[in-house]
């Protein structure tokens, strides 16, 4: 949640919070997120990819020789392309085969020791709850990366297969406060597994301590780790089909244009003809009122904002204020909550941050482009103001960040991309900056 950015500093060891998550996973409660992750039929592309990775894993487990290093399969894809759905299905099948009793026709997966890793407390809770539906998946096979690294290192043992979800959240620098003493999560995991499968999207890297970028030398570059693996022991697949956002192509292009290129997009022409609800608002309070009406009809309609309004970890409520008629509190940190923030009825009275919503869907997303997102009239483009971005922990300087200003800009852009790709049925946008709001309004009128 909003506090979790700082709270996670105490959670990364996976000790108390992991035990709490396991306990909470025993609570029976309906969850849309669980259904979407575990009860969705795979598309042809997804099913073929799962089969391909399964074959890859079996082949390289059979051929593994100590000292030769791991085999590595990378799945790259934008937000909403079904990466986690594939991983969940894949891990379930691997663990099902691993649990089978040995017989004369021994399968390579039988008796193997495998793990699914995710460095996101809410996603971990989700996987733990899903595991209760499968007797062959134990909660001990679901871990945070630091916890697994420390445990395997202490036991002086290796895993057969490690599957990493949300790989862009892996730490790219040492952090003794979180009890991570290596230099990079992925590097350590590669030394502790025979086969690694990782999904990631570098447009979702949100902190300097977990910074992945394909185009710079800041933080870490997953391609450099991929290139360390022998050519016959590696594979890479890029997922392209969008599953989350049921928007026409020009809406997806609008999102990409503003959140990746930083340009002011043309307003989509297809809006009047297709079912996706897209609107730019000049009144945040009116946008919120409309969202509340939609929530009463569909559920899972929530307000989100860039991390541009103050928050302090002192037990008090802090508010997102836009204009004269919108003053709504940031989401409260609720580690004992069973349902994800997006599904709890009370959170319609809150504003979610990028950390609250990353990895989850909404039916409608009302997104506030906050104080750090301004407008450059001369060049007709987005003008970022990192000094107004309030995520202090996200901007904590690390020794492998060489170009601090550029990285700050990329983190803010990444956060915008994450927020704009949450809505399944609709997306509403409000800009805090007067000039940007006026410019977006003009594009809508054209």
Please report, in tens digits, the pLDDT of each residue of the chain (446 residues total). Answer: 444 333 333 333 344 444 444 444 444 346 776 666 666 788 888 899 999 999 999 999 999 999 899 999 999 988 888 888 899 999 999 999 999 876 655 689 999 999 999 998 888 888 888 888 888 899 999 999 999 999 999 999 999 999 999 999 999 998 887 788 899 999 999 999 999 999 999 899 999 999 999 888 899 999 999 999 999 999 999 988 777 666 788 998 999 999 999 999 999 887 665 678 999 999 999 999 999 999 999 999 999 999 999 988 777 899 999 989 999 999 988 878 888 899 999 999 999 999 999 989 999 999 999 999 999 999 999 999 999 999 988 999 999 999 999 999 999 999 999 999 999 999 999 999 999 999 999 998 75
Do the strands 381-384 and 373-376 form a parallel or antiparallel pair, or are they unpaired?
antiparallel
Residue 165, strand partner residues: 118
Token pair belonging to 261: 């290129």
Which CATH number fits the domain 4-239, given the four candidates 3.40.50.300, 3.40.50.1220, 3.50.50.60, 1.10.600.10?
3.40.50.300
CA angle 332/417/316 to nearest 5° reads 15
Domain with CATH 3.40.50.300 in the chain: 4-239
Look at residue 35 in the predicted model and tell me its pLDDT: 62
CA angle 3/170/240 to nearest 5° reads 105
**Is the whole-model pTM more than 0.75?**
yes
Q: Of all helices (H) and strands (E), which one includes residue 350?
A: strand 350-352
Q: Of all helices (H) and strands (E), which one includes residue 239?
A: strand 234-239
Look at residue 178 in the predicted model and tell me its pLDDT: 78
CA angle 187/157/180 to nearest 5° reads 40
Do the strands 193-200 and 71-77 form a parallel or antiparallel pair, or are they unpaired?
parallel
- Enter the DSSP assignment of 82: -
Residue pair 58/51 in contact by the 8 Å Cβ criterion: no
Euclidean distance between CA atoms 271 and 72, whole angstroms: 42
- Enter the DSSP assignment of 332: P
Residue pair 45/75 in contact by the 8 Å Cβ criterion: no
Look at residue 82 in the predicted model and tell me its pLDDT: 83
User: Phi/psi at 284 (nearest 5 deg)?
Assistant: -65, -40
CA distance readout (Å), 398 to 183, 208, 355: 11, 6, 20
Residue 72, strand partner residues: 196, 234
Do the strands 114-118 and 71-77 form a parallel or antiparallel pair, or are they unpaired?
unpaired
């Amino acid at each position: 949640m909003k506090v979790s950015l700082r709270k996670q500093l105490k959670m990364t060891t996976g000790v108390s919070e992991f035990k709490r998550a396991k306990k909470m996973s025993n609570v029976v409660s309906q969850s849309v997120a669980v259904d979407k992750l575990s009860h969705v039929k795979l598309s042809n592309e997804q099913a073929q990819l799962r089969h391909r990775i399964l074959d890859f894993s079996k082949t390289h487990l059979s051929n593994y020789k100590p000292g030769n290093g791991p085999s590595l399969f990378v799945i790259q894809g934008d937000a909403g392309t079904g990466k986690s759905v594939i991983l969940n299905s894949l891990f379930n099948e691997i663990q099902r085969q691993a649990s089978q009793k040995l017989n004369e026709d021994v399968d390579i997966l039988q008796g193997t020791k495998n793990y699914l890793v995710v460095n996101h407390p809410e996603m971990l809770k989700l996987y733990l709850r899903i595991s209760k539906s499968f007797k062959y998946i134990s909660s001990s096979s679901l871990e945070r990366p630091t916890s697994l690294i420390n445990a395997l290192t202490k036991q002086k043992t290796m895993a057969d297969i490690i599957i990493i979800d949300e790989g862009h959240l892996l730490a790219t620098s040492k952090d003794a406060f979180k009890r991570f003493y290596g230099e990079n999560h992925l590097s350590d995991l590669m030394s502790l597994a025979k086969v690694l499968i990782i999904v990631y999207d570098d447009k979702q890297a949100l902190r300097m301590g977990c910074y992945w970028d394909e185009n710079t030398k800041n933080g870490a570059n997953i391609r450099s780790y991929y290139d360390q693996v022998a050519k016959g022991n590696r594979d890479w697949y890029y997922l392209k089909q969008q599953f989350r956002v049921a928007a026409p192509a020009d809406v997806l292009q609008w999102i990409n244009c503003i959140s990746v290129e930083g340009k002011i997009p043309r307003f989509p022409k297809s809006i009047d003809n297709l079912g996706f609800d897209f609107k730019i608002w000049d009144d945040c309070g009116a946008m919120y009122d409309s969202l509340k009406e939609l929530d009463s009809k569909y559920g899972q309609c929530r307000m989100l904002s860039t991390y541009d309004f103050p928050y302090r970890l002192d037990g008090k409520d802090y508010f997102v204020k836009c204009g004269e008629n919108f003053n709504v509190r940031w989401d409260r940190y609720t580690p004992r909550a069973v349902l994800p923030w997006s599904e709890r009825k009370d959170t319609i009275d809150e504003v979610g941050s990028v950390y609250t919503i990353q990895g989850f869907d909404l039916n409608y997303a009302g997104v506030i482009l906050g104080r750090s997102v301004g407008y450059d009239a001369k060049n007709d483009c987005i003008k970022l103001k990192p000094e107004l971005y309030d995520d202090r922990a996200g901007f904590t300087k690390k020794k492998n960040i060489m170009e601090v200003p550029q990285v700050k800009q990329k983190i803010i852009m990444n956060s915008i991309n994450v927020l704009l790709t949450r809505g399944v049925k609709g997306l509403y946008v409000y800009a805090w900056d007067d000039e940007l709001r006026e410019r977006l309004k003009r594009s809508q009128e054209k």
